[in-house]
Amino acid sequence: MTLIAVGGAAILLTHRPVVGSADRHVVVTSLTPNVAPGRELVLDLALHDQSEPLQWIDVQVPPHPPVRAERRSPGTEKSGPATYRLEVPLPEAPQPTEVFVGVVTGAAVGRHEIAPHPHKTELRVPVRVWTKLELRALEIGLASMHGIWLALGALSTARIVAAHRRGARDDPAMSSAFTRYGLLAGFSLATFFVLGQPLAGIFGHFDGAPALAVSAAAVALVVGVGRLLTGRDRPPAIGGTLAPAAAGVTSYRTRAPRVDARGWGLIQEALAAVPNLRVTHSNESIEISRAGLRRFRPSFVALELLDQGNEPAIGLRFNDSDLLFEVARHTTGELGPVRLDLARDRAVFRYVVDRSTDIQAVVTDFRREQRNHIALQESRAALLDLLAKRAGLDD
């Protein structure tokens, strides 16, 4: 809703008034809807009925008399309307609220005369004239709206990409591909009117191509930032267990919290109190992901209470080792030092984490051990393949 409100306000402030004759043969569009005294008002005049040639265009800024306008940028398309770009200088005072545009058409009789009964169309074009201070404030306000529009667009894009990865698990409203791509297409179209046309007009480019180029650049920037917020794709989840590291901590002889219903509840409370984590939990499972701007990243740690007889433990799945060891350290306040047994490709990696553990160091070590294990597996596979080929040659 905030995105719609900001975009709607920006469009209303930069809306280009369009005035047409009763038969719609003459249409005038104000390309500079917000001007200051002493600046030029730029009008676009389209002549749809070309059965009679255009003789002249009069522009009157009340209370001054009409002035013969210089016709610029005449259209060359015979099948379409003839278009003319009019630049009307506005006086310093008084400030007009409308401008009169008169269009005279008719067959020429002589060099300086036209038919006795020319066809004249007069239109009133509304003008919003601000003082220079007011116009500067308006420009600053529009720049702020454009910044908010881009920021909200980047967040929406990140949400769309995150929903595409996760499905309806975290964001049911974005579970439909039609909804995701429809929102992205609607944002791209609205960017043309919210940001493309106003920015191109500031530099004197009122045609569609420059505005379209500005819009495309803005959408590309938004998509790039949104994609950056979601981070890289994560590897497949790794499983394992988390349990108190101290011997006998699960025994009835000690007062240390056990991984039972009470200990499980304490873990939930401890994780929920961490401000940079998003925690969703049920009776037997907890799912943790990043909060803030990092919430769009596909990182997660899932904990599940396991009953292993004399040694109750916590089963886990994760795809982000940084997040895993951070979560493990937050559980040490309730369980004391914890032991992580992480299983990947029939290899088990064991770590003990307490409050003083250097997360970055242990993550670096875990990743190095995984790379070494993968390299060993590849070497073993290559050796077995070589032995198999040699055995085939011996046969």
Cα–Cα distance measured from residue 340 to residue 324, given in angstroms and rounded to the nearest whole number: 10
pLDDT tens, the chain, 395 aa long: 788 899 889 888 888 888 888 877 889 988 888 888 888 888 888 888 777 777 788 888 888 888 877 655 554 445 567 888 888 888 877 777 888 888 887 655 555 555 555 778 888 888 888 888 888 899 899 999 999 999 999 988 888 887 777 654 556 666 677 777 888 888 999 999 999 988 888 888 888 889 999 999 999 999 999 888 888 777 788 898 888 876 444 444 444 445 666 777 888 888 888 888 988 877 778 899 888 877 788 888 999 877 655 556 688 999 889 999 999 998 887 678 888 889 887 788 889 998 888 989 999 998 898 888 888 888 888 888 888 877 765 55
Judge whether 323 and 301 are in contact, CB under 8 Å: yes
Judge whether 85 and 30 are in contact, CB under 8 Å: no
Count of beta carbons in the 10 Å neighbourhood of residue 75 = 15
Tell me, what DSSP letter sits at residue 70? P
Owner of token pair 């994560």: 234
Cα–Cα distance measured from residue 346 to residue 386, given in angstroms and rounded to the nearest whole number: 23
The pTM score is: 0.70
Superfamily of 17-129 according to CATH: Conserved domain protein. (2.60.40.1640)
Cα–Cα distance measured from residue 333 to residue 250, given in angstroms and rounded to the nearest whole number: 15
Residues with Cβ within 8 Å of residue 143, at least 6 apart in sequence: none
Q: How far apart are the first and last CA of the chain?
A: 74
Measured on CA atoms in the order 251, 252, 255, 259, is the torsion positive or negative?
Answer: positive
Q: Residue 109: its pLDDT value, please?
A: 53
Count of beta carbons in the 10 Å neighbourhood of residue 104 = 16
Pairing of strands 26-30, 18-20: antiparallel
- In the chain, list all ranges with CATH 3.30.310: 238-363
- In the chain, list all ranges with CATH 2.60.40.1640: 17-129
- CATH architecture of the domain 238-363 equals 2-Layer Sandwich (3.30)
Cα separations (Å) of 209 from 7, 46, 143, 260? Answer: 21, 18, 21, 66
Judge whether 41 and 30 are in contact, CB under 8 Å: yes
Owner of token pair 């389209």: 46
Cα–Cα distance measured from residue 169 to residue 302, given in angstroms and rounded to the nearest whole number: 13
Judge whether 167 and 183 are in contact, CB under 8 Å: no
Q: Where are the beta strands (DSSP E) in the chain?
A: 18-20, 26-30, 34-35, 40-47, 54-60, 67-68, 82-89, 98-105, 119-126, 128-129, 238-244, 277-281, 285-290, 301-306, 313-318, 338-344, 347-353
